Amino acid sequence: MKIAVVGAGAMGSLFGALLAEAGNEVWLNDVWAEHVNAINQNGLEIEREGKVRKVKVHAVRDAGKIGDAELVIVFVKSTQTGEAAQIAGDLAGMGGMVLTLQNGMGNADTIAEVVEPARVLAGTTSHGATLLGPGSIRHAGTGPTTIGVWNRTKEGFDRAVRFAQLFNGAGIACEAVEDARVPIWNKLLINVGINAITALTAIKNGEILDLEVTRNLSCAAVEEAMVVARGRGISVTEDMVEHVLAVAKATAANRSSMGQDVDNGRQTEIRAINGFIVREGRDLGLKTPVNWTLTALIETLEKHY
Ligand code: NAD
């Protein structure tokens, strides 16, 4: 299959490389010239559990050189989704599918403004990756990937099954679901309870559990977001608050992605995470003071890097 990846940072490079290793024709598209040049000159270097391998894959800065693709994967940060959606729409042409596995909420809707919703696939992944430098990434962890077609039709589900098979064939354990909103909301709730708090306080995920006051803050943010999810008709996992604390424990030594963004003076995905809860709450007439405060503090921090 011909596959294009728009946003070939840590995750885009990883998924592109795994799909290329399975024999697909993969094109990575990124605005970062050094990274694109390094991949074309030396291949993409992947470090996994101390071992390094190289994968040959096409990389371009100009997406116009790729032509139509059957599958386009959007893996930019959520702050760039609008721009990436336009590129993805062009690459998908009249019949291709566009997939987002980005964190946060709103990415699939942004893509669906450009590509008809029946051709938008959305989901989540528990794979983890880090950029080490131009042309080089670390595959930090594996886990399940879930995808579904955004318009939630029977035909859509059949399509999702076909693409899940493609991923499974590339060693990316993937399940097709009828309603991708459920796993996306469940992952969003984890990010709501961990990301902004760790980013603001410079702590690692596990340190959320150290003090009762920090645990309570995390639980309050998640409980607020669960009310918003239910207001939108999403049946989120009942014991989500405990689950978020369990994830913080299981990833105790990790610095969250938002934490890393703040450490490096980059724009964060706050608007697609806690900020999304605030906007949805406002729409539903629900108060979200904890998520509002976390969003306001991160936005203030971003402005004063
Ligand atoms: P990243 O910053 O490593 O990669 C994003 C890439 O997009 C960068 O290389 C950047 O140059 C490129 N880019 C920006 N604007 C572009 C444009 N207009 N056209 C083409 N390329 C563009 O980010 P990441 O860690 O790979 O994360 C991507 C998404 O996946 C985020 O939503 C993140 O939350 C999510 N995610 C990340 C992980 C992880 O472990 N890193 C895990 C699950 C989900």
Buried/exposed code over 215-242 (b: 16+ C-beta within 10 A; e: otherwise): bebbbbbbebbbebbeeeebebeeebbe
Q: Evaluate if pTM is beyond 0.85.
A: yes
pLDDT tens readout for residues 109-167: 999 999 999 999 999 999 999 999 999 999 999 999 999 999 999 899 999 999 999 99
Query: Does position 254 have pLDDT exceeding 90, yes or no?
Result: yes
Substitution candidate for ligand 1 out of 13, 44, 60, 76 with most atoms within 8 A of CB: 76
Query: How much is the mean pLDDT over the chain?
Result: 97
pLDDT tens readout for residues 259-274: 999 999 999 999 999 9
User: Which ligand 1 atom sits closest to the C-alpha of 11?
Assistant: 26
**Is residue 191 very low, low, confident or very high in pLDDT (cuts 50, 70, 90)?**
very high
Query: Does position 201 have pLDDT exceeding 90, yes or no?
Result: yes
Closest CA to 174 of 250, 247, 71: 71
Substitution candidate for ligand 1 out of 29, 77, 107 with most atoms within 8 A of CB: 77
Query: Does position 237 have pLDDT exceeding 90, yes or no?
Result: no
Query: Does position 238 have pLDDT exceeding 90, yes or no?
Result: no
